[in-house]
Amino acid sequence: MFFFIKGPTGMNTVNSPLCAVVDSATNIVVNVILADANVDAAPSGCFLVNLPDDTPISIGWLYDPATQTFTDPNPPPPSVVEEPTP
């Protein structure tokens, strides 16, 4: 059983180590839990990645093991700056 512990802002709401639970086959984050990847075991078919306390990473993000970075699959749309009409 996993518990999603991020608050409404998407940030860590408790002062404890966070880990992303990443599916080994797809590299998709399937959960964010209180754990330590150096000590705790991952669920079957997954691996753990330690996260900083202020991380915005959430379920559905993609992990790249080669660069050890996460990518938001749904980034906000780019801001459109309209030029004033003369």
Residue type, 76: P
Model pTM? 0.71
Domain segments of the chain: what residues? 21-71
The model's pLDDT over 21-54, given as tens digits with 9 standing for 90+, comes to 999 999 999 999 999 999 999 999 999 999 987 8
pLDDT, the chain, mean = 83
